[in-house]
Amino acid sequence: MKPYKVLFFIACVMVCLGALCLVLPGCISVGDKTLRWPTLAEVFDIKNDTVSDAYADLLSDTIVERTDTIIPVDTIVPEKPKPVEVPKVAVDSTTDSRVFLHSFYAALEQASTRRVRVLHYGDSQIEEDRMTQQIRDQLQQRYGGAGCGLLPLAQTIPSRTVKQQLHMNGRFVTPMQGPRRYLVYGPKRDQRSDGLYGVMGQVAMMNDSLVSGSEQIMAVCTPQSNERRYTRWQVFADDGIEYSTSGDTVRLNGHGAVYGLSQESETGVIVDNIPMRGCLGLVFTKIDSEQLSTFYREQNVKLIIMQYGGNAIPFNENPSTIQAIVKGLREQVQYVQACAPEASILFIGPSDMMRQVDGEWQSYPMVSYMDKLLQKMSMEEHIAYFSLYRWMGGVGSMKRWQETGLAGEDGVHFYRSGARKAGNAVAEWILSTTY
């Protein structure tokens, strides 16, 4: 067929489809099925989108990284979400919650002579050292310190900060081939009954009865940047484990549990990245309190960041369920406070999150509700609170982040550029005042 005939055929098809879209509505029901198609306004993007002042900063300083890997999310979304009536929440908006970081601010003034530790717990939004890296960089630039902090013996999620390799009896192995791991946030088969997970909520067992060869381990942890390079190792393990270090390599022998490795400095600020994929944050009470208390005290932990809530949003449209989850998070905060009475706590709420409804991106209605409940809970528990949701711009802001290359197509996770912006915002918020 000649090219002009093919072009004429395509043009006729487009005209016919356009006429149908013009005459018919955007959907039609056939029995119990519904067929949907875009309207002409949707096809030609005819809508009144304006960029508010709240997004001016995002549009002026954006690094587009559409090739970044985004962690997939198995989200179950109903075809026709029912309208949800979101209850109103009265929160204290007059108090700057950074007043509750006074213990941390006081410790920073002594960082030149004594190491100050910051732990950043969170869900998949902080994997790869995302967000944490920017918080670490800003704190270490101002108060000194070096190294990436805590690392698991076997790193199953690659980090942009440190490249890890694992060897057993001289043979390279993948993390899944390495020592048996137990996770406080994992499936039941990977959990322990004694609560001995360590401060990272995961432990690797060096025991040849579980994994052949795991009585001899060599971990090579190579920093991806030479700036503020670490000056010392720490290994957190049972007494039955012997270890030695040389450069970026740590060798371990024996039988027992390894709770983590740490690349750090003698003084300054050490910031640990502790991601828990798929976790709601309701797991701290499952970790042995004596283990937590000992680590927090001996390592001079002065700030604990808890970043949770997002994993509850896609699966819950009932306000009472969100209330129950926030109640559970309050219990976790209280547990951590009891284990670390000298430390300040900062809770970071979920970002805006979106789903597609009839082809249009819409924010989940429970995001704003959870954000307010978490802020209210934080004020009542005397801990600091940073609202990612409101900082982004509130309802619908995730769409702007997608359009400017800051967030992924899943409507949930940031690209690395977005994570950098969010991490810098949290760090600047922390450091912009000292009480």
Residues 302 and 362 in one domain: yes
Asked if residue 376 and residue 251 are part of one domain, the reply reads: no
Q: The whole model's pTM is what? A: 0.80
- Are residues 256 and 280 both part of a single domain? no
- Nearest 5°: phi and psi at 206? -90, 100
DSSP per residue, 379-433: HHTT-EEE-HHHHHTSTTHHHHHHHTTSB-TTSSSBPHHHHHHHHHHHHHHHHT-
Q: pLDDT above 90 covers what percent of the chain?
A: 63
256 and 294 share a domain?
no
Domain membership of residue 26 (yes or no) is yes
Residue 59 φ/ψ, nearest 5 degrees = -75, -25
233 belongs to a structural domain: yes
116 lies in the same domain as 195:
no
Comparing 296 with 159, the larger pLDDT belongs to: 296
Is there a single domain that holds both residue 182 and residue 250?
yes
Residue 68 included in any domain? yes
Query: Considering the chain, what is the average pLDDT of its residues?
Result: 84
- Counted domains in the chain: 3
Q: Does residue 167 form part of some domain?
A: yes
Residue 53 lies in a domain: no
d(CA 101, CA 141): 19
Task: Examine the domain organization and report whether 101 and 119 are in the same domain.
Answer: yes
- Assess if residue 50 is contained within a domain: no
Domain co-membership, 274 together with 231: no
Task: Say how far apart CA 75 and CA 316 lie, in whole Å.
Answer: 11
Residues 68 and 177 in one domain: no
Query: Cα separation of 144 and 279, whole Å?
Result: 32
- Tell me, what CATH number does 141's domain have? 3.40.50.1110
Residue 13 lies in a domain: yes
- Find the range with the poorest average confidence among 88-92, 365-369, 390-394, 395-399: 88-92
What pLDDT score was predicted for residue 65? 36
Q: Residue 236: give the domain boundaries.
A: 148-266
Residue 52 falls inside a structural domain: no
Instruction: Please say which residue of 208, 243, 266 terminates a domain.
Output: 266
The tens digit of pLDDT for each residue in 104-162 reads: 999 999 999 999 999 999 999 999 999 999 999 999 999 999 999 999 998 888 888 99
Do 336 and 406 have their domain in common? yes
Structure tokens at 149: 């902090």
- Which of the 8 DSSP states describes residue 124? G
